[in-house]
Structure 1
């Protein structure tokens, strides 16, 4: 996928996966219309939508993108087509981490794999009406991928807070910025990963979990950052699906630069800080709870610090990478929008206070959520 890195710069390709929730156009309650939406998208619009675990979800994937501006263009167009397919199928597609209204269970998609997951994990599978954003960043090889994950681990709480976008469940404010993260944490293999010393160490851990029955296969190793199962990439999977394309692009740019810097550091023999997994779990829980406006443990310093300050520090660290790979304008745009509008959870709470259900759904519509952002860019 990529040429071997130099000692000074690694400009990897990037890909973004987004999951969307299908809801009733008026009530906002989740509806199992994925079969119809996927069929319309493929047959009428030429868009290869993917099914997810339940029939109330669909997934999109960008191509392998040379930079995040390409990813942004693809996400804008693909979201527009998803919205069109959903309307044609009599529903709405919204970009939200967890169902804000109505029930939180869905029908299991009729496939061999998903039926097996439902048999093995019961109600846990039915209650996965949650939608995330996964960023794939190219790496040279599997051994490097494991070491890169070690370098990315300390920044998972910040990445989670930046895109927290699921404050509601059942029409009530959960008190969390990302309720999706709490629901997701019920899976036995989820959250921040351990620190791995090698690819063999990682493989042995996966074998143990499969033998124990806590994961059916490596694709069910649901850690927040992991070597991808089929691609030569590191997959950052800690985030809610973003409220807007520019939020998703900011996440992609941060993940891309973190991985790029880590590849160079690994090549130079720089060891990642071995932050304890329990410490990371505490910080990630806090990030899901308070979101962008809150204060979360800085796992590198051991002191609680505002998320926004930690984000600024991360951007400062990565600015030379952004300048080298051309992503700096996208990062600056994303930061301006966060400062202007707040995070996704903040926007949802404001919309619900001001206009209740319709205002909330309009904010979350996959093709409407970016109207102001596009004009502002």
Structure 2
């Protein structure tokens, strides 16, 4: 079985001491020129780009170092760096980063762009070519709601409990060409759908394909974009390893992937975004409702051969059991909010 390399993009928030988004990304990024850190759409966000990694341990080491250095740079600029998917306090609309593409997004999409201080985690897995990436997308569609539930980390938005575990996912799906991807009959089918969006003006370029899984527009990878930014590095590594194992499992299957009833997939997404790991989910292949924890266990069983090949079974099981026992970011945030605890202290990345 092929062992593809992986890379991760982590989007993080910059906030003031009171938890309000702080537009200092340009100064923070300038302070860490030895790392691959990028500006994002709004000026209260920054993005870590990990190097290409071959093992879970290598990825963990890189992300730990990069988060720590970025947190130190943020502190030097009077900001706190949060591993949290939406602003816990402050106002929805934020200043746009002064780059031509971002200005164009703000011009065309207005408040939707200015309210986009939302932080996800994107996992890239090496594949042979774009045609393979499209086929892999079909295979991973049934598991995208499960990955969303596992990593949900945005229940509190602007001083209120939203009632959802992943409010970020609800916000991102307001964009055109976002959310669950369609089933692709071929690479030509994918290209035709993107071309239709471009011709209609709902996209300005292929980078605006915001489906929860997509062929990367600039790398030889398939990119899984469904997840909130996880609270901890261990949870990001768990996500990335499960995604890599899913891709490996898909590559072993020569078919174009399973078709799904779109409304069942939609229902599974909605349950995952609302309840995370604490409620019911759906096995979208059978439309069978069951506790989300059981759906996660089915995902784990599905990728067992790939995890054995990677040698990651024990490490992944340790992290997975800990998350299911103590809660993911959404569970821990909601508990802290209910008890009047400081959300910044809970979610801040330490230098």
- Shared fold, TM over 0.5: yes
Partner residue, 1:367: 350
Superposition deviation, residue 147 in structure 1: 0.5
Superposition deviation, residue 351 in structure 1: 2.0
Partner residue, 1:185: 173
SS at match of 1:300: coil
Superposition deviation, residue 144 in structure 1: 1.1
Partner residue, 1:222: 210
Superposition deviation, residue 48 in structure 1: 3.1
Equivalent residues of 2:277, 2:324 under 8 A apart: no
Q: How far, CA to CA, are the matches of 2:266 and 2:28 in structure 1?
A: 36
Equivalent residues of 2:293, 2:324 under 8 A apart: no
Find out whether 1:12 has 2:30 as its counterpart: no
Deviations 1:120-166 (A, max 9, x none): 11111001010000000011111111111000001011000000000
Find out whether 1:29 has 2:20 as its counterpart: yes
Give the count of matched residue pairs.
351
Q: How far, CA to CA, are the matches of 2:146 and 2:350 in structure 1?
A: 26
Counterpart selection for 2:136 from 148, 153, 170: 148
Counterpart selection for 1:124 from 112, 135, 139: 112
Q: How far, CA to CA, are the matches of 2:5 and 2:244 in structure 1?
A: 8
Counterpart selection for 1:53 from 41, 60, 64: 41
* Aligned Cα root-mean-square deviation (Å): 1.2
Alignment of 1:161-176 (within 5 A): 161-176=149-164
Partner residue, 2:267: 282
4+ aligned runs moved over 6 Å, structure 1: none
Partner residue, 1:196: 184
Q: How far, CA to CA, are the matches of 1:48 and 1:193 in structure 2?
A: 29
Q: How far, CA to CA, are the matches of 2:207 and 2:276 in structure 1?
A: 28
Find out whether 1:309 has 2:300 as its counterpart: no
SS at match of 2:42: coil
Q: How far, CA to CA, are the matches of 2:56 and 2:93 in structure 1?
A: 34
Q: Which runs of 5+ in 2 are unaligned?
A: none
Question: What's the TM-score, normalizing by structure 1?
Answer: 0.91
Counterpart selection for 1:40 from 6, 9, 31: 31
Partner residue, 2:316: 331
Question: What's the TM-score, normalizing by structure 2?
Answer: 0.97
Q: How far, CA to CA, are the matches of 1:264 and 1:77 in structure 2?
A: 34
Counterpart selection for 1:64 from 35, 41, 52: 52
